[in-house]
Amino acid sequence: MAKIDAPNNDPQASPEPLPQPVSVPVSTLMKFRDKVYTSRQLILPETQRSLPVARGMVEVLGSDTEAVKFLKAHDEFELLKE
């Protein structure tokens, strides 16, 4: 026979808190124009990660400080204003 749970009438018992929605920070996508090549792979020196250049463009998240720093430090890349 199944057990039926009786409601908890204890006034001191606190209701379970509702789960809060997880807020994910939205990071801005930054677009850089490659002034030299329309297609290539960029290798970041610190972590050896690669960034693809396609159609003369490379896109990185604004929160990716390593990639943004790398692209801003080279004259071959121009940050596009959107």
The more confidently predicted of residues 78 and 22 is 78
pTM of the model as a whole: 0.66
47 close to 1: Cβ distance less than 8 angstroms: no
Query: What is the tens place of the pLDDT at every residue in 65-80?
Result: 999 999 999 999 999 9
Q: How far apart are CA 42 and CA 70, in angstroms?
A: 10
* Helix H or strand E segment including 65: helix 65-73
Query: What is the tens place of the pLDDT at every residue in 47-67?
Result: 999 999 999 999 999 999 999
Instruction: Tell me what pLDDT residue 27 has.
Output: 77
The more confidently predicted of residues 44 and 7 is 44
Position 6: which residue type? A
Query: What is the tens place of the pLDDT at every residue in 29-45?
Result: 999 999 999 999 999 99
Q: How far apart are CA 35 and CA 75, in angstroms?
A: 8
What are the distances in angstroms from CA 33 to CA 67, 76, 80? 14, 8, 7
